[in-house]
Structure 1
Amino acid sequence: MNIYDELKWRGLVNQVSDEEKVREYLDTPGQTMYCGFDPTADSLHIGNLVPLLCLVRMKRAGHNPLFLLGGATGRIGDPSGKDKERELASEEKIESQARNIQNQIEAFCERNTGEKADVVNNYDWTKGISFLEMLRDVGKHFTINWMMAKESVKGRFGRDDVGISYTEFSYMILQGYDFYHLFMEKGCQLQIGGGDQWGNITAGCELIRRKAQGEGYAVTFPLITTAEGKKFGKSEGNAVYLNAEMTSPYTFYQFWINTDDRDVIRFLKYFTFLTQDEIAELEKKHEEAPHLREAHKRLAEETTIMIHGKEELEKVLAATEALFGKGDIMSVDAPTLRGAMEAAPGVEYARNELPDLPQILIDLGMAKSKGQARKDIQGGGLYLNNERVSEFDYVPTEADFIGGKCLLLRKGKKNYGLVTVK
């Protein structure tokens, strides 16, 4: 199947500049396309997965995708989808974030293709261009009327409270120049991106037509929302990051396992490499026995392996079984357990200053007084590493600590607390 037709089957084509020409372009292996990622945070998040995956799909289909780091555009700020001006980050911060994101891109590409990513940085070809050169050689090809008609800036005009600076207004010129540069230097004729990037991408197509008398193509992805109409990628108001230190592999896995039943098949198409036949089989199982949640489990497994690797998935599954099944909690990897309990209250003690369980419960906020804590313990409601505790004045020992680092307390069925030692 032509990769363009696969993207359409997966529901990933929103806008396309010329469908037949794009399909024809992608019919021959070895074609070049790109997508940009501005370093606006220390990590990519799952909202970046669709374009990231699309570039990898292109590579697996035999093409030559370029992963563009916005070292220059990240210094400016994209107005697309924003109702107010961005705060400009320091150059040092942008460069640090760019390094982090490049490492993520390279690891992701190598893990899922076995090959190295071709990463380019637009700061490399824009840092030497003078203001006069940009105005004369690039800006001359853009009319204010045409730029103002773009959705990325149109929504900000007529609003005296926010407006739009000349800096952000000029963003599409920079992005358009990126496309022109890659067209001239790499023979790249296709740019892909989110639906909010249509104006910026077509600016590049227009610059290629005017300045190089060539032809560039544009494909955008739809804005992905959940069945409830919420913007995809938010978990209780927090972004789900690809960096394991910002979102633990356990939390990452749980995000996918908790996918709404109405979304799971659609998300299998968007976020995995599973084939039509494999997804059709999972859809059939989901319809026949939704309570088994096989589609959800496969979605969570595939995405976790894709980002964190199979070894991390195995740790997550072991922790899940130990917490909610009959697995051995003592065999769970301590960092994974901490990730699983990141939303639970925690307390840290020096190794030689561990108090008794009633005091620990008070410190965790799981009991209001020692009297209440002892009552809970005597009533059989407290568990230490999934084992019921009977001694109300018990002081944990070295043998109780999972991996020598942490222990898990549970009061009742769902009230957890994590104790770590320095």
Structure 2
Amino acid sequence: MNSRDISLSILNKYDYDKAYVNKLLADTFKNKNIDNKDKGLINELVLGSIENRYLLDFIISQFSKIKIKKMSVSVRNILEMGTYQLLFLDKIPDSAVCNESVKLAKKYANRSSGFINAVLRNISRNKYNIKYPDKTEDKIGYLSIYYSFPKWIVEKLVDQFGFEFCEDILKSSFKTYYPAIRANILKVPNDGNGKVKTDEFIDTLKSENINIIPNEDIQNCFWVNGKLDINNSESYKNGLYTIQNPSSQLTAITLDPKPNEIIIDVCAAPGGKTTHIAELMKNKGRVLAFDIYQHKIDLINKSANRLGIDIIEAVKHDSSIFKPELVEYADRVLVDAPCSGFGVIHTKPDIKWHRNENDIKELIKIQEKILSVSSKYVKKGGTLVYSTCTILKDENEIQISKFLSENRDYKLISEKRLFTHIDGGSGFYIAKLKRI
């Protein structure tokens, strides 16, 4: 199978199994017979087709007599993949795109090969004359089609942030994402006050052909300039660093845990924030980490072992269920709540297709319950941090405002709203509260 065959197979699995695309790609790339050049094209075709699906279907519909919903999964995916190449991949000649798409059709949708050929060649001839919804007269339609987002999400974002800011948010979802890492101060040489010796750490990773650039805003955070293969990184295996988005790193920093304190992380998996908390505590004290799934508890323990951390006690527990023995037990509690994930669409483009309005309503109820239960665990004078990787106010500011109105023993200390197009990392919300 060549790269286009593999790409089509992934897209078909995505549609049939309703699986997450990043997992499908990761499972595919475990095949050692796929070289890096092919991986690059597969990644481009699959992610490009999925994140631009509304736009691609809008264009295909203008040149097809058959409605999208009437097409087989294979026919639709061949057309979407072909249209994506015609619109976005200038290095591949249009003729090659059409020819390769017809080859795919003959293998997987033989009766439709002529139809696919006609539609794609028609798009090729007219791709610079396609009419999109008018930006002035149909603002929601324009944003939805041009940036490939469900209308209900666009309507919510425009309502909460206005048209121009919403457009900036949608644009940023297509941003090329460079990974970031967090240096482990328990293992990396540092100044004794929690700041790693930058030059030494850069040189250590450079010896593994990993180039990093310090994040000037966040201590011990570094951007990766290029590719990062943790499977071939001894520094990673030895626990010198963790892959973690800068916005996510700010969560533990905002919590500000101290050595010898008791911390509870109520939604801890996969453990990035939990282990960061333990590192900031210099591996002294106690960190209780909860998650509802045992395999995620195992991930937390695995990360802790790699990083040389032994103060984390990971426990399988549903954090919406009250534990009376923990009342006023913790100095600080982190509620990194389950959320819609709309702040990480630039790394998980299919989130926007998996979510619906009812999901948001249910998530808000879960967040509210976990926040209410967990707030009971904070000592008087202690700290509660609530965070999400979404940008929707319903799950963030509105959620905290409601909590404060019902819990007069808490006051808001600070709020951080992070956006990809402004701050560079994922979209995030972090609220710091104090129990009084």
Band of TM-score, shorter chain: under 0.3
TM-score calculated relative to the size of structure 2: 0.27
